[in-house]
Amino acid sequence: MTPEEETEIRRRQKGRNIALGLVLAFFVVLFYAITIVRMGD
Amino acid sequence: MKLVKSELSQAMTINAQSMPADWRDFFALTKPRVMSLVIFTGLCGLLAAPGHIHPVIGFTAILCIALGAGGAAALNQWWEADLDAGMKRTAARPLPAGRMQRTDARDFGITLSFASVIVMGLAVGWLAATILAISIVYYAVIYTIWLKPRTPQNIVIGGGAGAFPPMIGWVAVTGDITLMPVLLFAIIFMWTPPHFWALALFVKTDYAKVGIPMLPVVAGEKVTRQQILVYSFLLAPIAMAPFLWGGMGIIYFAAALGLTAVFIALAIPVGLRTAALDDAMKPEKRLFAYSIIYLFALFGALVVDRVAYTQGWL
């Protein structure tokens, strides 16, 4: 594997990790909000 | 050096195996442009439904509709990767372009599909979740795997998959199925054949190349044009039905009348003409473009009508 390929793999992995982290954080907030709303029903 | 197709395909596979797919490729798997129409019609169904839904729950319902549609789209691309590689319109998608492994697309599609149904059931309601599950199976299995490669009527029955979102949005609010959500389903069901066949008329060479029995490929252009005309005329009474039997008001009536009249006016030249060799297919492209505007405008009118009624403007 060339250094360029290695760099590209790391770049993609980093991008995927950030995207997944943001999605998970979003769902934590969403489920918290849903729970609060449902508890008020 | 010019690579033959199998060498190219092999090279793409090696590339996909050695490189992890970019997050943008996963996003592309969800067919974001199709999803925008799904979100819009789902939102319109939700906003036009009588009753109240908490904004957080309403947002969750639309999110689940979007995730479900995205999951079904990913499964569609997983199944059709080989066909997509043979068509100009789809060759640049993540799988045929070799930017992603097939199993990644399959797992992503299954995860999105299950997650959307479970969250919909827990947060919104199990009837809405059940219809969402049916719509995903309808698109990913009945349409993609079963009908599309087998029958030129694939679009007619498969169009049902795209017709579910407004019904799900409506049911998310009301919790039951009445005549109106069925009518919203019927509008998109009748709209799909002329919309898609207009597209199939000017990209038919691609479908023929990969052996998909689209109506223009199997039955010929003349029959396709006749069918476009038939479904456009069938759409007219269905589009008016929410006013006649569904309790919608004068705003919806005026919009449906005007929009459908233009739809038929554009469908008539497509239905009656014969394309010359190297035809630019302008009437077909015009009908296809207008059909998208038509659906956005018709469902937009549905919401405006409901808001005007509930606010007492009329």
| Domain positions in chain A | 1-41
More confident residue, B207 or B90: B90
Model ipTM value: 0.90
Specify the pLDDT at position B205.
Answer: 66
Q: Residue B5 — very low, low, confident or very high, per pLDDT cuts 50/70/90?
A: very low
Range of the domain at B133: 1-175
Shared domain for B123 and B138, answered yes or no, is yes
Last residue within a domain, chosen from B175, B210, B238: B175
Cβ B193 vs Cβ B231: under 8 Å: yes
Q: Is B23 within 8 Å of A5 when comparing Cβ atoms?
A: no
Shared domain for B50 and B182, answered yes or no, is no
Shared domain for B144 and B220, answered yes or no, is no
Residue B267 identity:
A
- Structure token digits, residue B65: 């509709």
What residue of B is the nearest CA neighbor of A38?
B123
**Residue-by-residue DSSP string for B183-247:** HHHHHHHHHHHHHHHHHHHHSHHHHHHTT---HHHHT-HHHHHHHHHHHHHHHHHHHHHHHHTS-
Task: Write the residue in A5, A8, A34 that is nearest to B123 by C-beta.
Answer: A34
What integer is the mean pLDDT of B22-28? 93
The Cα–Cα gap between A16 and A14 comes to 5
The Cα–Cα gap between B9 and B7 comes to 5
Q: Is the pTM of this model over 0.90?
A: no
Question: Picking from B47-56, B163-172, B211-220, which range would have the lowest pLDDT averaged per residue?
Answer: B211-220
Last residue within a domain, chosen from B175, B201, B225: B175
Residue B96 has pLDDT above 50, yes or no: yes
Return residues 51-70 of B near A (CB < 8 Å).
54, 56-57, 60, 63
Shared domain for B128 and B210, answered yes or no, is no
Q: Residue B4 — very low, low, confident or very high, per pLDDT cuts 50/70/90?
A: very low
Shared domain for B69 and B156, answered yes or no, is yes
C-alpha torsion angle, residues B129, B131, B132, B133 (rounded to 10): 90
Nearest to A32, CA basis, from B101, B63, B298, B123: B123
Sign of CA dihedral B92, B96, B97, B99: positive
Last residue within a domain, chosen from B128, B148, B175: B175
